[in-house]
Amino acid sequence: MELRHMRYFVAVAEERNFTRAAERLCIAQPPLSRQIQQLEETLGVQLFERNSRPLKLTNSGRFFYSHAVQLLAQTAELESMTRRVGNIERSLSLGFVGSTLYGMLPKIIRRFRDENTTVELSLHEMTTMDQISALKDGRIDIGFGRIRHEDANIRGVVLREERMIVALPVGHPLSVGKPVLALRDLINETLIIFPNAPRPSYADQVLSAFQERTLKPARIYEVRELQIALGLVAAGEGISVVPSSVHGLKRDDVVYRELDDPTLVSPIIMSMRMLDESTDIHEMLELIYRLYEEERIPYIFGELLCYPS
């Protein structure tokens, strides 16, 4: 029995008529009838009731039909999956910290996929520190994080320094006064920081910003992640210092204010294995710089700070 027999049988069973089935299959009726006869002989059972008009399946026919349909669907899936595997030449695994999703990461992923259709891209949310071990184990090829690290086997490229901004509950006194705030303006507030673990994290960059200026917020409230910090800000539980790309995450109950100090920044770092010189890594870096130029986002190239015109 061949797949062709099953396809012919399914067409006849669904059309309940040899003429219509032959038309659907684009073959003449006599060879179709012969194929069905052959199939019944091979199986040793009758699949259609004799002389029924329209054609009716026997019990064996109904059983065979339900399994033949499944098998044909599986065959079609196998064909398309095999074609896909054949077209995929390389794979690239990306690790990223959640907050980079509010920045350029979605655009980078979309553009990379469009421009590199034969590369299978997979994405894994993980902390910067987990990215380092995942890079060493070969579980990821590129990591996007925010923490500077010193590891002899890992190369970190600072892509840009993202300004920090303040998230305030709508109607908060600090949101109605000055359009630009200083860190000092925040010291009487509850500062909501994230992520609380593992450390060091973005939370420590915010805390260091206060410490370096010998400032101390009235209260510190540590939470697991950015979304929770913003929810608590919305609830009036405190304020939070967030990367400026979070501004794109519009909420009716949260307002954002810029900070006056341009040195209040959090880096976005691309990490890779020290000896990895693969084309995909180069493609990715080149694409990111190109997107920064297109979107007019200041970035760091080598040691240089570049301002797209």
Residues making contact with ligand BEZ (CB under 6 A):
100, 103-105, 108, 144, 159-160, 245, 268, 288
3 state SS of 247: helix
Nearer of residues 98 and 200 to ligand BEZ, judged by Cβ = 98
Output the smallest distance, CB 295 to ligand BEZ, in A.
Answer: 9
Structure tokens at 108: 């980078």
Instruction: Say if residue 31 is preceded by a cis peptide, omega within 30 of 0.
Output: no
Residue 262 backbone phi and psi in degrees, to 5: -70, -10
Residue number of the CB closest to ligand BEZ reads 103
Give Dmax (Cα) for the chain.
Answer: 96
Structure tokens at 61: 């026919």
Nearer of residues 191 and 268 to ligand BEZ, judged by Cβ = 268
Nearer of residues 209 and 288 to ligand BEZ, judged by Cβ = 288
Output the smallest distance, CB 154 to ligand BEZ, in A.
Answer: 16
Nearer of residues 9 and 144 to ligand BEZ, judged by Cβ = 144
Output the smallest distance, CB 104 to ligand BEZ, in A.
Answer: 3
299/288 Cα distance (integer angstroms): 10
Nearer of residues 232 and 242 to ligand BEZ, judged by Cβ = 242
Nearer of residues 13 and 241 to ligand BEZ, judged by Cβ = 241
In a 10 Å sphere around its CB, with 0-12 CB exposed, 13-18 middle and 19+ buried, how is residue 52 labelled? exposed
Output the smallest distance, CB 92 to ligand BEZ, in A.
Answer: 13
Output the smallest distance, CB 175 to ligand BEZ, in A.
Answer: 25
Output the smallest distance, CB 97 to ligand BEZ, in A.
Answer: 9
85/303 Cα distance (integer angstroms): 41
Q: Which residues contact 3 (CB under 8 A, 6 or more apart)?
A: 71, 72, 75
Structure tokens at 255: 């307002």
